[in-house]
Amino acid sequence: MSELTTPDEEGTSSREELPIFRSEENRAKLMAIYDVGLRHWPVPFETFFVATRYGKTHVIASGDRESAPLVMTHPAAVGSFVWSSIIAPLSEKRRVYALDTIGDVGRSELADPARYPKKGRDYSAWLDDVYEQLEITRADVVAGSMGGWIAMNHAIHAPHRVRRLALLGPMGLPPWRATLAVLIPFAWYVMRPTATKFDRIIFRSLGEGERVNREFRPWMRIMGKCKPRTGQPFPIPSRQLRMIKAPTLVILGGKDGLVGSATAAAKRARNIPSCEIEILPHAGHIMSVDEPDFVGERTVNFLEVEKG
């Protein structure tokens, strides 16, 4: 959800004072919500930064340091605290590293606002830097939405880095028709922003789940005043999907307002040579919050395959 600006009460756009957050007030409000999210993190954790070619990447680490590594990349426009709903089962047998995507509205720090990842290969290079700093050779990856697009590109461009891949409502799988159905309303909003249009975008992004709206609607309303520096998760060509060698789990929501038709996305997912597909009829885009018990258990079971 990059390049969005919500009008203020006077009908003018927020003044750009910081490169991504645009004002210190926006940054402070979002980080306060981020702090609340971390207070609900159900397992012990530590946070730190690692250096990459694009700037400092913020990491939330949980689980035994000696366990096999698991990397998590989150949906666009939220931070890694989104994973609090499923982090407990994932970190039982893994050392989990939840990353704030560089250039997005989390805690990672972009070094140069004019230089940020734009294409899938760029994000793969960013992840290579993160792996290098964390001393990871190969890892399992759990990813949602745009994070799924990033993870698939890493599996395409650096296949030796990805052991198993779990994708939750990933962008990059919807066909162009579904992608345009999302992009056109976003573009219309950017050209003629109104609060009503932005509310529709939030609803499309979060769905109707009570928990996901309670936890993320306040964040989304402030995020809309920011200007993330991120690439666009356009559909990944079928020929590139067929290049993904890592065993892959794709979980799709039947009420996902961004991915659109779960059936159409599932059809494209079958281009991935070794792919398991689950469709949750009542889940929206952030299914790890809508149905955390199923998503957590199904993901753990998928990952619990003898390391190869």
Three-state DSSP class for residue 285: coil
Alpha-carbon separation of residue 247 from 17, 46, 268 (angstroms): 44, 29, 15
101 token code pair: 């995507």
Task: Encode pLDDT of 1-15 as tens digits.
Answer: 333 333 333 333 333
Name the residue type at position 133.
Q
pLDDT of residue 198: 82
pLDDT of residue 5: 33
How far apart are alpha carbons 42 and 233 in whole angstroms? 31
Residue 100 DSSP symbol: P
Q: Give domain status of residue 290, yes or no.
A: yes
Task: Encode pLDDT of 74-96 as tens digits.
Answer: 999 999 999 999 999 999 999 99
Task: Encode pLDDT of 43-78 as tens digits.
Answer: 999 999 999 999 999 999 999 999 999 999 999 999
| CATH number, domain containing residue 130 | 3.40.50.1820
State the sign of the Cα–Cα–Cα–Cα dihedral 243, 248, 253, 256: negative
Q: Which residues make beta-bridge pairs with 13?
A: 7
pLDDT of residue 199: 85
Q: Which of 88-97, 118-127, 193-202, 215-224 has the lowest mean pLDDT?
A: 193-202
Q: Give domain status of residue 65, yes or no.
A: yes
Q: Give domain status of residue 203, yes or no.
A: no
How far apart are alpha carbons 178 and 130 in whole angstroms? 32
pLDDT of residue 138: 98
Q: Give domain status of residue 192, yes or no.
A: no
Q: Give domain status of residue 27, yes or no.
A: no
Residue 85 DSSP symbol: G
Q: Give domain status of residue 77, yes or no.
A: yes
pLDDT of residue 186: 73
pLDDT at 308 over 90: no
pLDDT of residue 200: 86
pTM to 2 decimal places: 0.91
How far apart are alpha carbons 268 and 244 in whole angstroms? 13
Chain-centre distance of CA 66, in angstroms? 26
Alpha-carbon separation of residue 235 from 18, 239, 240, 284 (angstroms): 31, 11, 10, 20
Give the closest residue to 146 by CA, choosing from 189, 187, 179, 190: 179
pLDDT of residue 191: 77
User: Residue 101 sits in which domain range?
Assistant: 32-175+236-303
For the chain, what is the mean pLDDT?
Answer: 91
55 φ, ψ (degrees, to nearest 5): 135, -165
Q: Give domain status of residue 9, yes or no.
A: no
Q: Give domain status of residue 79, yes or no.
A: yes
How many domains is the chain partitioned into structurally? 1
